[in-house]
Structure 1
Amino acid sequence: MLRASVQKSLRQTYKLSTRFSSSVAAQYFPEEPISPQLVTSSIPGPKSQAYNDELGNVFDNRATYFVVDYVKSLGNYISDADGNKLLDVYCQIASIPLGYNNPALIEAAKSDDMLYALIDRPALACFPSTNYAQILQEGILAAAPPSMTKVWTALSGSDANETAYKAAFMYQHAHKRGSLDFTSEELSSVMNNEAPGASDMVILSFDRGFHGRLFGSLSTTRSKAIHKLDIPAFPWPKAPFPSLKYPLQDFIKENHDEEIGCLQEFERIIVEDYEPHKIAAIIVEPVQSEGGDNHASSFFFQGLRDITLKHDILMIVDEVQTGVAASGKFWAHEHWNLTTPPDMVTFSKKFQAAGFYFSNPELQPNQPYRQFNTWCGDPSKAIIARSIYQEITKHNLVEKTAQVGDYLYDGLKQIINKYPGKVLNLRGEKYGTFIAWDCYDAEVRNNILLECRKRGVNIGACGDVAIRLRPTLTFEAKHADILLQVLEDSFKAV
């Protein structure tokens, strides 16, 4: 168990480094459980299993952890159908920003803006509402990354990435054409999916990256074979992503050499494997989340940016999972302090909406109906995103997440160092609550996940052997203490 003296020391450090005037979680959720509450001997319990069996008759339920009672879920605790209440540090695969049944979001859901957005859902590109610009300006655009002034709203993270790819292709071909119009050959050949009308340009992604499961996004996803099997794919390139060694301070030269090698291979692919201007854009995650929570340094990402600028390649940063304050910055790529910002930043998950940010007006095609679908996003989701942004700002949740992340990381470091044969490679220091570690093998990892669930913590995996943390932005030291205790007990039990 985490020693009381260690916990007290962590708490004192946390109090000295934070400006918490009160518990945001307590303000939002005065009736939030003070600890996990378990009422069945196993999870899933009998009611959850029965509901899931019924669901399985009409819906593919084979990935179900347990069936949830969302009415009874509250704050940082998820309730299953049997009434078990688990501390949730997975949060719908990183998609719950302010806790379950947050009162501010409930108020937004009850608003007149929401009512009409839901029942008269507009085809935004053709019939936008009178207040859509205001909704965007007060929420999604107010939260825009530095230097970004425009947004294209989309339906999901995969859709956000694919529309960014489309913007990149149209931008690059417009530059090739200059002032010329489409040729008759382009107009006819494209109807047969052939060049020159159909582009032969490519999007470059990185080994172990994940960018979605639609056709274009899946062609850039490189995390697991099961995602891609049997699906036709574009023959697009991938470059190596650094495999860092931990603890970082013990492998400074080795990690620097690794990143230099990856940058050199990245540029070699551009120069030797593809003719100039064949690569329209690259896409990269600040942390390769689904692929194993793989990090790289600011040096590496600045190197990517320098090379893309050198070769007139657009840079898309995929912040679908890393964005919206979880990293201790509103956007994780802010940690890099790039000398030139990326061209596009995609988002979804914790914003409950989706799309991509940009600033260059040339990334918007000259003709209408080219970047287009019926919905082009959803005003109801943009309304929720507005409330999320306003609550994050009101309660200073970016800084508070950074602080509780430091507290949690220090506690994890002390625990994980005691079990080197089971868990290793703790990473995410000074990165908010975006923290992960590896297990000795997949069996150890799966057993730890089950032990945590038995003790009332819902936690998730990524990559081949990693466990990742994805709590809400209202996750505080009191929640971290419970998590640390459960993790140590689980490590000991495996």
Structure 2
Amino acid sequence: MYVTVFEPSTFVNRPALGIYPPADWVGRLQAALLSTERRDDTPVTPEEMSSSKEGQPLGCPNLAVLSFNNSFYDRTVGCLGITHSKYIHKLDFPVPDWPVARFPALKYPLEDHVRENQEEERRCLTMVEELIDAWNRKGMPVAAVAVEPIQGEGGDNMASRDFFQGLRDITPLWRWRGIGLLVDEVQNGCGATGLFWAHEHFRFSDTPYVVTFSKKMLTGGFFSKESFVPKDAFRVFNSWVGDPSKAALLEAVVKVIKGDNLLDRVKVTDQHLLNGLKQMQGKYPGLISNARGLGTHCAIDFKDAASRDKTIAKLRERGVHMGACGAATLRLRPALILENKHVDIFMESFDRVLANMNS
């Protein structure tokens, strides 16, 4: 039993945190977000002040953010500039002309395609460097590389630690390029992979410069290295910049995750879940393939979107709610309290639906 006492005012009032934060706001952040164990000033010239209001250099420099095919970040204009998963997100919107690299398309099972996958990841890293050089030459230097630990909306696409460390090696601030690595944990964060943050699996030689989060974290935001923190007020800002009630709820969630050792539970159920998916693809080879996952953040591909969508509908009729992503991928996003017995219940329903699909 975990009891957290909240002041009623936390939920009744939503202050404009950027201007009038409550007295306990810093303490709330430390108890919730910061407890997950993650974290040459030059004067602005008059020319920069004036030109920035017009959206022109010097104030607004010609810089680019490099991203990957099949990525998804959201629907605001800046985020659409690095979103490349579905046309419907971007149709009819103007977006920045920024470089797009290939995200590795791995072959499964991984143990049978080690050499091919290593070559694929090297090709993708080479493309990243070539694009950075190309955009430098065209006068629009790459300021950051944005990447998802697992491409959720784009099809639950995964890559190895070597690939992500390769990105980290390309983007250190102490090299001449001065490029920041931005890791999007909106879908991957909060424990589903067996670690609180998915990028922890990559054991980076140095942490990313910015990490974004939302969804299961109950509030949206980011944390960053000190060097990325703006020195001036209102640089990263809106009237609300957060919600004390959501931070209070997140504090309770984090306490339960830690107190009930839910991340350890994920490390038990993940293999049972992935093994079950592999057994199903062995039983229905013409219908499903490419079972994969990190923790219980798992997925499997169907032969086509119609088969995937019909399977989802039939599973819902049996009380199992599933999701779709990518071209023909079924994605699994179970709660952290998932146990092996729940996996067995799902696999029984999954097996029956697939059998009818295959008949």
- Measured against the shorter chain, the TM-score band is over 0.9
Q: Which runs of 5+ in 1 are unaligned?
A: 1-27, 29-103, 149-177
Write the distance in 2 (CA, Å) between the matches of 1:398 and 1:458.
Answer: 22
Task: Pick the aligned partner of 2:196 from 330, 337, 361.
Answer: 330
User: Aligned runs of 1:88-237 on 2, under 5 Å?
Assistant: 111-113=5-7, 115-145=8-38, 148=39, 180-237=42-99
Write the distance in 2 (CA, Å) between the matches of 1:485 and 1:252.
Answer: 32
Deviates further, 264-273 or 300-309? 264-273
Cα deviation, 1:340-364, whole Å, max 9, x if unaligned, reads 111111111111112111232x322
Contact 1:203–1:279 (CA<8 Å) still a contact in 2? yes
Write the distance in 2 (CA, Å) between the matches of 1:315 and 1:295.
Answer: 17
Paired position in structure 1 for 2:337: 474
Paired position in structure 2 for 1:406: 271
- Cα deviation for residue 138 of structure 1 reads 1.0
Q: Which has the higher contact order (CA 8 A, sep 6+)?
A: 1
Letter of the 1:127 partner, please give it.
Y
Write the distance in 1 (CA, Å) between the matches of 2:304 and 2:142.
Answer: 37
Residue 457 of structure 1 aligns to a residue in which SS?
coil
User: Aligned runs of 1:230-309 on 2, under 5 Å?
Assistant: 230-275=92-137, 278-309=141-172
Contact 2:135–2:142 (CA<8 Å) still a contact in 1? no
Write the distance in 1 (CA, Å) between the matches of 2:156 and 2:12.
Answer: 39
Contact 2:262–2:337 (CA<8 Å) still a contact in 1? yes
- Cα deviation for residue 117 of structure 1 reads 2.1
- Cα deviation for residue 132 of structure 1 reads 0.9
Q: Which runs of 5+ in 2 are unaligned?
A: none
Letter of the 1:241 partner, please give it.
F
Paired position in structure 2 for 1:340: 206
Write the distance in 1 (CA, Å) between the matches of 2:182 and 2:163.
Answer: 15
Identity of aligned residues (%): 41
Runs of 4+ residues deviating >6 angstroms: none
User: Aligned runs of 1:390-401 on 2, under 5 Å?
Assistant: 390-401=255-266
Q: Are 1:319 and 2:185 counterparts?
A: yes
Q: Are 1:435 and 2:298 counterparts?
A: yes
Give RMSD over aligned pairs: 1.6
Residue 303 of structure 1 aligns to a residue in which SS?
helix
TM superposition score normalised by structure 2: 0.95
- Whichever of the two has the greater Rg, that structure is 1
Write the distance in 2 (CA, Å) between the matches of 1:458 and 1:365.
Answer: 42
Contact 1:206–1:238 (CA<8 Å) still a contact in 2? yes
Letter of the 1:204 partner, please give it.
L
Write the distance in 1 (CA, Å) between the matches of 2:42 and 2:201.
Answer: 41
User: Aligned runs of 1:413-432 on 2, under 5 Å?
Assistant: 413-428=278-293, 431-432=294-295
Write the distance in 1 (CA, Å) between the matches of 2:275 and 2:229.
Answer: 45
Letter of the 1:427 partner, please give it.
R
Cα deviation, 1:150-171, whole Å, max 9, x if unaligned, reads xxxxxxxxxxxxxxxxxxxxxx
Write the distance in 2 (CA, Å) between the matches of 1:460 and 1:410.
Answer: 19
Write the distance in 1 (CA, Å) between the matches of 2:217 and 2:160.
Answer: 25
Paired position in structure 1 for 2:230: 365
Paired position in structure 2 for 1:356: 222
- Cα deviation for residue 179 of structure 1 reads 5.0
Letter of the 1:194 partner, please give it.
Q
Write the distance in 2 (CA, Å) between the matches of 1:404 and 1:366.
Answer: 45
Contact 1:208–1:223 (CA<8 Å) still a contact in 2? yes
Contact 2:101–2:127 (CA<8 Å) still a contact in 1? yes
Write the distance in 2 (CA, Å) between the matches of 1:209 and 1:364.
Answer: 25
Contact 1:208–1:288 (CA<8 Å) still a contact in 2? yes
Write the distance in 1 (CA, Å) between the matches of 2:92 and 2:210.
Answer: 30
Contact 1:344–1:358 (CA<8 Å) still a contact in 2? yes
Aligned residues: 353
Letter of the 2:194 partner, please give it.
G
Contact 1:211–1:221 (CA<8 Å) still a contact in 2? yes
Structure 2 vs 1, CA of residues 329 and 198 (structure 1 numbering), >3 Å: closer, same or farther?
Answer: same
- Cα deviation for residue 277 of structure 1 reads 8.1
- Cα deviation for residue 134 of structure 1 reads 1.1
Write the distance in 2 (CA, Å) between the matches of 1:301 and 1:412.
Answer: 26
Deviates further, 464-473 or 475-484? 475-484
Letter of the 2:224 partner, please give it.
F
Contact 1:136–1:382 (CA<8 Å) still a contact in 2? yes
Write the distance in 2 (CA, Å) between the matches of 1:312 and 1:281.
Answer: 8
- Cα deviation for residue 217 of structure 1 reads 1.0
Contact 1:144–1:357 (CA<8 Å) still a contact in 2? no
